[in-house]
C-alpha cells in the first residue's frame, strides 16, 4: 500500500496521546533525561548523550556517560580539556570520528557562548546530522522537530506496513513521523518513540501485546509485524590486512598516536603498516580479526625490537590507562595471553 494511503489509517492525535501516556508510566530512567513532563535536561547532557549513542547501545553508553560527566561536568571544562585525555576516555566506544567531532563541537559552542536552540543552527555544528540536531532541539529546547533514528523509523514502518528497506523509505518515514509529532511535549514524544522502538517494537520478537499503538498498527493487524520493514540486502564486507608491531623494553611497550584524520584518528596505537587489500600478512604472531563499519581487518601482531615513529613507552602493567581502542587492546591481549600459555 502506498504510504500516502497508509497514513490515513493512523489517528495521529489519538496515537500520540496514547504514546505519551505510556511514556509517562514506563519511561526508561536514563542519566541524561529528565522525568516525563518535567523541565528539560541541560543541553550539554543531551548533546553528549546523543553523540555517544550514535551507533552504540544504551547499555554501553550509560557507564561511560557517567565517567565523562564526572570528569568534565560542563561543556566549558570539556572544551578546555587536552585532546589526548578525551581520546583516552573515549577508547572502547568505537566510531572514533565522533570523538574528534565532540572536541570540535565543544570548542565551537564554548566560543559562541552556548548551544543554538533551533534545529537548523544546530546542524551547522561539527558532528551534528539531521537526527542529532532534531533530538537536541526537541529534548533540550522543547522545539517541535521530527526526530528519526532507526528505532523510530522501524515503528513508523510497522504502523503503516511499509515493506521496503528503511533506506528506501526516508521521505515517507519523515512525512509520516511528522504527522504524529505534537507541538506540545516534543521532547517527551521523541523519547517515547525511541523507547517504544528499543523496548517493545524490537526488530525481533516485538512486544505487541503491551504496545500503546497496536490498535493503530497495520503490521500488527496483519499478524506479522516482524516482516516490516523489509530487511536491507546484505553485502559482504571488504577485507583488509595489516601488521602491528609489539615493541617491548624493560616492561614497557612502544605506543604511537595515529594521524588526526582518518580511521581511529588521534587514538593511541601500536605502530604498524598501512592497511591494504593485499594479504594476508606473512610472518609469525597472532592475527586479530576486527570488523569496522565498511570492512573487516586481519591484523597480524608481530614482535620487533626498535621503536618506530614518534611515541612513548607505556608500562605494560598500565596499558589500560593508555586509551587504546578495541582493536589494539585485542592485539595486546593476544600477545599477553600467548606469553601466559608459553609459560604454562
Instruction: Quickly state the pLDDT bin for 4 (edges 50, 70, 90).
Output: very low
Q: Where in the chain is the domain with CATH 3.90.79.10?
A: 238-343
pLDDT tens digits, one per residue of 108-119: 999 999 999 999
Distance CA 301, CA 303 (A): 7
Nearest-angstrom CA–CA distance, 314 and 320? 10
User: Would you state the CATH architecture of domain 3-227?
Assistant: Orthogonal Bundle (1.10)
pTM of this prediction? 0.84
Beta strand residue intervals within the chain, DSSP E: 238-249, 252-257, 268-269, 287-291, 295-304, 311-315
- Fold held by 238-343: Nucleoside Triphosphate Pyrophosphohydrolase (3.90.79)
Mind listing the pLDDT tens digit for each residue in 234-266? 888 899 999 999 999 999 999 999 998 889 989
Distances (CA, A) of 8 to 5, 174, 177, 225, 327: 6, 15, 13, 19, 49
Q: How far apart are CA 119 and CA 137, in angstroms?
A: 5
Residues of the chain with CATH 1.10.340.30: 3-227
Instruction: Say whether pLDDT at 293 is over 90.
Output: no
- The rounded mean pLDDT for the chain is 93
pLDDT for position 12: 65
Using the predicted structure, report yes or no on whether residue 130 has a pLDDT greater than 70.
Answer: yes
Annotated catalytic residue 224: no
Amino acid at each position: 500500500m502506498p504510504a500516502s494511503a497508509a497514513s490515513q489509517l493512523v489517528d495521529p492525535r489519538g496515537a500520540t496521546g496514547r504514546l505519551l501516556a505510556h511514556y509517562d508510566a514506563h519511561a526508561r530512567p536514563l542519566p541524561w533525561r529528565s522525568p516525563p513532563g518535567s523541565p528539560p535536561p541541560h543541553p550539554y547532557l543531551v548533546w553528549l548523550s546523543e553523540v555517544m549513542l550514535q551507533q552504540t547501545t544504551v547499555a554501553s553508553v550509560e557507564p561511560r556517560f557517567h565517567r565523562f560527566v564526572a570528569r568534565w561536568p560542563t561543556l566549558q571544562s570539556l572544551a578546555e580539556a587536552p585532546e589526548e585525555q578525551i581520546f583516552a576516555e573515549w577508547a572502547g566506544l568505537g566510531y572514533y570520528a565522533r570523538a574528534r567531532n565532540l572536541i570540535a563541537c565543544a570548542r565551537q559552542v564554548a566560543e559562541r557562548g552556548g548551544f543554538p536552540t533551533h534545529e537548523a543552527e544546530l546542524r551547522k555544528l561539527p558532528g551534528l546530522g539531521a537526527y542529532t540536531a532534531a533530538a537536541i532541539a526537541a529534548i533540550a529546547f522543547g522545539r517541535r522537530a521530527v526526530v528519526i533514528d532507526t528505532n523510530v523509523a522501524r515503528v513508523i514502518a510497522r504502523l503503516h506496513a511499509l515493506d521496503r528497506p528503511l533506506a528506501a523509505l526516508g521521505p515517507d518515514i519523515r512525512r509520516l513521523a511528522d504527522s504524529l509529532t505534537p507541538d506540545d511535549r516534543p521532547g517527551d514524544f521523541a523519547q517515547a518513540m525511541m523507547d517504544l522502538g528499543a523496548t517493545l517494537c524490537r526488530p525481533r520478537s516485538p512486544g505487541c501485546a503491551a504496545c500503546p499503538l497496536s490498535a493503530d498498527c497495520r503490521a500488527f493487524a496483519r499478524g506479522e509485524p516482524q516482516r516490516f520493514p523489509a530487511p536491507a540486502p546484505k553485502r559482504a564486507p571488504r577485507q583488509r590486512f595489516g601488521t602491528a608491531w609489539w615493541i617491548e623494553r624493560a616492561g614497557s611497550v612502544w605506543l604511537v598516536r595515529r594521524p588526526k584524520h582518518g580511521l581511529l584518528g588521534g587514538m593511541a596505537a601500536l605502530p604498524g603498516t598501512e592497511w591494504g587489500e593485499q594479504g594476508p600478512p606473512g610472518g609469525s604472531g597472532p592475527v586479530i580479526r576486527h570488523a569496522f563499519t565498511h570492512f573487516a581487518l586481519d591484523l597480524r601482531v608481530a614482535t620487533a625490537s626498535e621503536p618506530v615513529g614518534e611515541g612513548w613507552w607505556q608500562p605494560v602493567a598500565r596499558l589500560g590507562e593508555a586509551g587504546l581502542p578495541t582493536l589494539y587492546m585485542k592485539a595486546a591481549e593476544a600477545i599477553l595471553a600467548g606469553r601466559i600459555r608459553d609459560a604454562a
